[in-house]
């Protein structure tokens, strides 16, 4: 860890850092395991090039997910002041991962259902945040169809078109989809407390091998979008979904809506990585045109 980063963290914590070890695997930020002077193990993320609000939003999101006490979420220990000059960082409770418990899938189904059943006030959130490094609009809406169109699909589509990631003709294709959105999303449902970036890389275990969620992109939304993303990037298996359905049954037609809700993470990946994700969006979009 760079000395100026460590000094800044120590100043905010009011305590020295006894040791640090660089971790591998993070694609956006530098990650470290560390021990504080009082012996506590912690997890530290830092990124000299990121938007200063990223870590603030992540800290707020973790606290928001932890409110219903439905599933293990790491506790925020410290976060840099977004209004100050860098370096910026996030310090979390260290949760050592163990091998998944024998009933991990069932636990995840039950705990995610409990999290989703903790109903926020609206579709959206009081503040905008990020999914990976991309800004995510959370302007509150009463209608899920309106929110999904104007705050999720439209901004990512416009970004992809503006950056020549996709053909401009996509604008017309998506306009046809948007005109049918109210019909496609199914019967009205209360907003759910969403993780927002639920894929296998953000699904860890705690010291007992139970589910633990990290790196959220939270908001109030339709719960099927969390499930659709997990299905797209790391489906945990049939026991997960059957347990989820026992605890919080999905509305009729949920299977037909999976691809609809995978459009958002696919568009995000188009903007982050391009490549074959462009073709994935095209194939998914064809199902609704």
Q: Work out the angle between the directed axes of helices 170-179 and 154-162 (0-180°, nearest 10).
A: 170
Q: What is the DSSP code string of 124-191?
A: B-SS-EEETTEEE----BS-HHHHIIIIIIHHHHHHHHHTTSS-TTHHHHHHHHHHTHHHHT-S----
- Of 105, 197, 215, 226, the catalytic one is 197
> 73 by DSSP, 3-state: which?
coil
Q: Are 56 and 79 in contact (CB under 8 A)?
A: yes
**Known catalytic residue: 197?**
yes
* Length reported for the chain: 289
Which residue from 102, 125, 146 is spatially nearest to 220, judged by alpha carbons?
125
Q: Which residue has the tokens 């049918």?
A: 180
Burial of 88: CB neighbours in 10 Å, binned 0-12, 13-18, 19+: buried
User: What is the distance in angstroms between the CA of the first residue and the CA of the last residue of the chain?
Assistant: 51
List the alpha helices (DSSP H) in the chain. Answer: 3-13, 53-66, 104-117, 144-147, 154-162, 170-179, 181-184, 223-232, 238-247, 254-273, 277-286
- Active site positions, annotated: 197
């Amino acid at each position: 860890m760079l000395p100026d980063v460590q000094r800044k963290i120590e100043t905010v914590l009011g305590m020295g850092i006894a040791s640090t070890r660089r971790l591998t695997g993070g694609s956006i930020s530098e990650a470290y395991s560390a021990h504080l002077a009082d012996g506590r193990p912690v997890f530290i993320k830092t990124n000299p090039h990121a938007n200063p609000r990223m870590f603030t939003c992540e800290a707020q999101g973790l606290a928001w997910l932890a409110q219903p006490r439905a599933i293990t979420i790491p506790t925020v220990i410290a976060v840099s002041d977004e209004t100050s000059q860098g370096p910026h960082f996030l310090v979390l409770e260290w949760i050592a991962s163990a091998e998944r418990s024998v009933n991990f899938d069932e636990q995840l189904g039950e705990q995610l259902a409990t999290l989703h059943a903790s109903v926020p006030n609206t579709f959206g959130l009081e503040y905008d945040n990020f999914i990976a490094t991309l800004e995510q609009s959370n302007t509150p809406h009463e209608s899920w169809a309106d929110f999904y169109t104007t705050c999720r699909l439209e901004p990512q589509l416009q970004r992809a078109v503006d950056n020549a990631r996709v053909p401009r003709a996509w604008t017309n294709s998506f306009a046809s989809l948007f005109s049918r959105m109210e019909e496609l999303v199914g019967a009205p449902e209360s907003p759910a407390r969403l993780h927002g970036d639920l894929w296998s890389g953000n699904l860890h275990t705690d010291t007992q091998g139970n589910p633990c969620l990290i790196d959220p992109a939270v908001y109030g939304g339709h719960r099927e979008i969390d499930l659709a993303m997990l299905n797209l990037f790391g489906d945990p298996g049939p026991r997960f979904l059957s347990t989820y359905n026992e605890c919080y049954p999905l509305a009729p037609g949920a299977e037909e809506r999976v691809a609809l809700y995978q459009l958002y993470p696919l568009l995000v990946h188009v903007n982050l990585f391009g490549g074959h994700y462009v073709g994935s969006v095209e194939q998914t979009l064809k199902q609704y045109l």
